[in-house]
Copies of this chain bind each other. A is one copy, B any other.
Amino acid sequence: MGSSTSLKKNLVISQKNQDNSTCHPPHPIETGHLEGLQKQILTVPKAQRMAEFFSLLGDSNRLRILSVLARKELCVCDLAATLDMSESAMSHQLRTLRAMRLVSYQKRGRKVFYRLQDNHVLALYQSVAEHLEEID
């Protein structure tokens, strides 16, 4: 069982806007007051890695998969049945979760059982759940 992922957007791309005239009616900005700022902000590579991680949680099917696995390890077909997804779609999603090490798996007979890799992710999404209740 190999491994590969999607979520490429945040991995590689960069280097747009090579010429520094980013503003469309270009205006003479004195960037002096911005330089200090530029050194402190999230670097592009870090932002990309972080965004890749958040993107992983930015899909309701993946979140539901994680919420099921939080309670019980489960094989692919039961996951698919529980969440009303095709087994193929489930398999693709599990692959991306695997690639980011959010789940681990164990083969038993012809079934493959998936489980959460750790509880860090759960903590994270509980934190978001709270935030969402706050802003309502």
Indicate whether A42 reaches chain B with its CB closer than 8 angstroms.
yes
Q: Is B51 a contact of A59 with CB atoms below 8 Å?
A: yes
Interface class of chain A by DSSP: helix
**Chain A interface (Cβ within 8 Å of chain B)?**
9-10, 16-17, 20, 22-24, 27, 29, 31, 34, 37-38, 40-42, 44, 46-64, 67-68, 71-72, 74, 77-78, 80-88, 101, 120-121, 123-125, 127-129, 131-132, 134-135
What CA separation (Å) do A134 and B124 show in the bound complex?
A: 14
A27 to chain B, nearest CB (A): 7
Q: Is B134 a contact of A22 with CB atoms below 8 Å?
A: no
Residues of chain B with a CB closer than 8 A to A59's CB = 9-10, 51, 55
Residues of chain B with a CB closer than 8 A to A78's CB = 29, 34
Q: Is B77 a contact of A10 with CB atoms below 8 Å?
A: no
